[in-house]
Amino acid sequence: MPAVSELPASEPPLVIAFVNNMPDAALEAAETQFQSLAEAAAGHTRIHFSKFYLPGVPRLERGRQYLSQSYSPLSRLIDSPVDGLIVTGAVPSGSTFEGEPYWPSFTKLADWANANGVPAYWSCLAAHAAVKHFDGIERFRMPRKLSGVFECEKAAAGPLVAGVPLRWQVPHSRYNDLREDDLIAAGYRIVSRLKSGSPDIFVNPRHNLSVFAQGHPEYDRMTLFYEYRRDLGQFLRGQSGVSPHPPEGYFGPGTAESIERLDGMVPPGACAEEHLRVIEELLAKAVITASWRTVAVRVFANWIKLLLKERSRRRPARAAGAARAAPALPAGIEWRAK
């Protein structure tokens, strides 16, 4: 198969549906991050990026307005011809997925993708929800939030990690984890894992070239900064009982240690705004290295190649010279990377 950058200009756009379940404050950021990553990975392949929302995800008025203006309801996706699917996670409101208000619509989406052979990229909490629905695999709560940029290593060869080094960096930001033994027992294959043994990327041949990722390769260089500042502000204002640790492997030398020393000096609720201001001044001087972007683009480029190959298999080319019918595309954004 030709490289992505070598595909002819006459090739119809690759249709990727993006189901954004992030909380209101992160809706636009997640959208921008995934679009940017897919665009960088696409080479000269045209991408048609259509955005959808999942019913049942709790929203404030701001979020509802943004979705109504820029997104289509899930019902439109079910009736659309798509070549790939990206699904982000939703912040849990309870301890079980079955009790979440969006669970019925999420399982409908997952079953539709599986039944129609649509390759999907399940991101973080969406990966947890998908393996729970598909195979009954339960996530478990970790003692503390896993936040930072971690080294992971290639655990298996395959087209998804072709051209990827043996080890690379990837951001993670989550409270829950999956056990590798549970995934393997259900037929999943671990593609990469963290040094701790936590699965990073995994796949299952039974689920249509789908990719399950606990990490966030789509993050831009400032995302973990903003998340940490948010978590720290909630703790200092007494809105959270958990003092967040600075993201591991993210800030320059000495910055994390300085933040932790400052955190130990002021109890929650005491001079919260002033303390947060001091820490933000310290963070503003920190060196942040986005060391994961190159590999993230390579992995996504490999996934796009798999989508193109699967589309060719499912939609055989017509005889030479015959016109190829263009699919009826849902509303979305289309680009050709320069």
Query: Catalytic one among 218, 227, 245, 275?
Result: 218
Is 172 marked active-site? Answer: no
Query: Catalytic one among 48, 133, 207, 216?
Result: 216
* Cα–Cα distance, 124 to 143 (Å, whole number): 18
Query: Catalytic one among 31, 39, 48, 124?
Result: 124
Angle value at C-alpha 92, between 86 and 94, nearest 5 degrees: 150
Closest residue by Cα to residue 303 from 189, 168, 160, 165: 160
* Cα–Cα distance, 26 to 29 (Å, whole number): 5
* Cα–Cα distance, 77 to 109 (Å, whole number): 9
Indicate the pairing of strand 47-53 with strand 72-73.
parallel
Indicate the pairing of strand 167-177 with strand 189-194.
unpaired
Is 273 marked active-site? Answer: no
Is 152 marked active-site? Answer: no
The residues, ordered by sequence, that sit 6+ positions from 34 with a Cβ below 8 Å of its Cβ are 18, 86, 88, 218
> Residues with catalytic annotation?
124, 216, 218
